[in-house]
Amino acid sequence: MDRIYRRQRHVYDLTRKYYLLGRDALIAGLDAGPGARVLEVGCGTGRNLIVAARAFPAARFTGLDISAAMLATARANIARAGLSERIDLVQADATAFDAAALSGGAGFDRVFLSYTVSMIPDWQAALAQAARALAPGGRLDLVDFGQQEGLPPTFRRALFAWLDRFDVTPRAGLPAAVAAIAAAEGLTSDWSSTRRGYAWTARLARGA
């Protein structure tokens, strides 16, 4: 990941601004109240954490990423935004992080993944690990590329070919994986396709 993002990290947010659709809606809907512990898996440059921390000033945030290069950029961006005291950054594998240690033992009230599962090779394991990080009453939200099922086939082929250049693979098995993880972990789940299949969203929730 450091090889891929060593240069991209400097222009990442500018180039992703126009096609990572739905991420700001996800953040706005986090509903992270006072004292809430929020985790972003695959935090990249820290852009989403900054937006979320500003939207929910009484919550505490943790960002996790495997790329040291991305975390260096995130750390600088967060410091520039004056949010270093409210946002912690951790280098870890999304499939094997220690949620208890990161959350102080209680788990996280909110976990979110924004255009992350399409970039993680073992994305099912990462999603399952994120679900296990939920505290009682906690909720996981994600948004990522869909299968473009309502859009012209030519658009789908062009988009998928372009994404493949950056090692991004929209996950056709995402709805089934969400349902399977919910069943295994005793969670409720919901999944939807938006913007004619351009983006897929999902939610997993643990009972109180």
Please report, for the domain that includes residue 197, its CATH number: 3.40.50.150
Q: What is the pLDDT of residue 1?
A: 52
Q: Are 85 and 53 in contact (CB under 8 A)?
A: no
Three-state SS for 1-67 is CHHHHHHHCCCHHHHHCCCCCCHHHHHHCCCCCCCCEEEEECCCCCHHHHHHHHHCCCCEEEEEECC
Q: How many CA atoms lie within 13 A of 164 on its CB side?
A: 6
Total count of domains within the chain: 1
Residue 18's pLDDT band (boundaries 50, 70, 90)? very low
Identity of the amino acid at 188: T
| Interval 89-117: pLDDT, tens | 999 999 999 999 999 998 999 999 999 99
Q: Which domain holds residue 103?
A: 2-205
Kind plus residue range of the DSSP H or E element containing 149: none
Tokens 């859009």 sit on residue: 151
| Interval 129-150: pLDDT, tens | 999 999 999 999 999 999 999 9
Q: Are 46 and 73 in contact (CB under 8 A)?
A: yes
| Interval 49-84: pLDDT, tens | 999 999 999 999 999 999 999 999 999 999 999 999
